[in-house]
Amino acid sequence: MSEALLILQEVAAGTAGALALIVERSGSAPQGVGAMLLLRPDGSCCGTVGGGSLEQQVLEALQQVLVDGTAVLRSFRLLPEQDGMPCGGCLTLLLAKLPAPAIPVFAAAAAGQENLTSVNDVATVLAALHRGICLNSTSDRQMCEILERQTDRCKLPLLLPSGVVCKHKTGELPGAEHDAGIVIAPGCPYVLAIMSDNLPDSAGGCQTIAEISRTVYDVLTTNQ
């Protein structure tokens, strides 16, 4: 059984503590996006985000999160001359305190159940990030910067005018194409979330999302 699944099962069973989750990697690093480290209330751990001095720094940050009770995004550079980490890359981690009751999304994942969301849910979170009221202004800004670095541009941003910033997150499954983001249109930044299902053609679904995105942009920027 993978360490990630073990962590999900522990949280689902009611384990408190703090969790570190890698949300972005640039350059060389020992672990990739999705790797997790759980710090239990007794000080023991499950999982890894890379080991060595990096992991020690993350554990110290998790201890502080347990005291503050506030989720944060933290970036860690792997510097050979300072930390003895030869990779030289950079990792961004979400650090969050876990309450004693199981977090529903983790409980469902550990049980092999499907979790559902909606365009309204996603748009609400993105709007809060844009306004700096989701976690805190610093963490929200960092998350928006991560979204802005999205390299998959075949949906929401595809047909937007050159230079228009789109901070977005794509998703795809067999028969489904999604994209949701914050579009910094001149004079009227807005949030747009589009989801689909039962698509006969994935490429056609991406093109339709792109066309809807451009139509929304044109309507909202008319007379601006």
User: pTM of whole model > 0.85?
Assistant: no
Dist CA 206 CA 55 (whole Å): 39
Q: What is the pLDDT of residues 116-135, one digit of tens each?
A: 789 999 999 999 999 999 98
pLDDT of residue 108: 61
User: In angstroms, what is the C-alpha Rg of the chain?
Assistant: 19
pLDDT of residue 107: 59
Residues 22 and 73 in one domain: yes
pLDDT tier for residue 163 given thresholds of 50, 70 and 90? very high
pLDDT tier for residue 102 given thresholds of 50, 70 and 90? very low
CATH number of the CATH domain containing 209: 3.40.710.10
Per the structure, the count of domains in the chain is: 2
Highest mean pLDDT among 58-62, 84-88, 115-119: 58-62
Please compute the mean of the pLDDT values over residues 43-65 and round it to a whole number.
91
Collapsing DSSP to helix, strand or coil, 222 comes out as coil
Structural domain boundaries, residue 83: 3-110
191 CB neighbour count, 10 Å cutoff: 20
Which phi and psi angles does 145 have, rounded to 5°? -65, -40
